[in-house]
Amino acid sequence: RDGWVPVPGHGTTKINAAFAHGGPALLIRTVEQLTGVRVDHYAALDFGGFVQMTDALGGVDVTITKKTHDPKHDRTWQAGRQHLDGVEALDFVRQRWNLPDGDLDRIKRQQAFLHALAEKALDTRNPIKIDRFIRAATRSVTVDDSVTSGTLRGLARRLLRTPLREYLTTPVAGTGQRGEQSVVLLDEAGARALFTAVRDDRVGEYVARNGAGNTVDAVR
């Protein structure tokens, strides 16, 4: 979300500004221009749905490598395995203050949490819990007009059958300051290689050459 990229009609700014300036349509244009990959569909999950999905499964466990304090939400996370309810999970994935790599560590937290959420859903044998989880997800997701609720539920069920072990993140050159903003600077050559692999449906070959990026066993 802090990636410093060209946004059509608004110069170069953080990628999350695209949504603020022009909603889903401008965000899609920004991503397509940046990556060269066509965006066929759009989905956005609201924070309330995030909380409901987590609570529908009875909370989720994550492993934290080092004690840290989040001044924005006034939470202290202890090192070790932690059980998070929906509200705690939302604060956990939104924190970037006091994390060594700021937004990059926040991304790793989000990936670790989504992995834990999927694992918990996969391990759940209670069909009522699974149905509650899927309903919470589909109620809270805003999609483009071509996606029906049935399609969304079907996609959710397919994703729950897919083991998630490693995650790819757009390669970055590091972080920097633009005015008073902390931003993430993309590695242009590395990003171009990844985007080309996605566009050409050769992500497997890309991973074989470059590795899979982030693992999600434990995060800061």
Asked whether the beta carbons of 130 and 138 are under 8 A apart, the reply is: no
CB neighbourhood size of 116 (10 A) = 21
Helix or strand (DSSP H, E) at 76: strand 75-77
Domain with CATH 3.40.630.190 in the chain: 44-167+206-215
Asked whether the beta carbons of 95 and 70 are under 8 A apart, the reply is: yes
How many Å from the N-terminal Cα to the C-terminal Cα in the chain?
19
- Answer whether 0.75 is exceeded by the pTM: yes
Nearest to 75 by CA among 54, 58, 92: 92
Q: Which class is domain 44-167+206-215?
A: alpha beta
- The residues facing 3 across adjacent strands are 184
DSSP string, 3-62: BEEE-TTS-EEETHHHHHHHHHHHHHHHHHHHH-------EEE-HHHHHHHHHHTT-EEE
Q: Give strand ranges (E) for 87-199.
A: 141-143, 166-167, 172-178, 181-186
pLDDT in tens, the chain (220 residues): 899 999 999 999 999 999 999 999 999 999 999 999 999 999 998 888 889 999 999 999 999 999 999 999 999 999 999 999 999 999 999 999 999 988 889 988 998 898 898 888 878 778 888 888 888 888 888 999 999 888 888 887 787 777 666 778 999 999 999 999 999 999 999 999 999 999 999 999 999 999 876 666 778 7
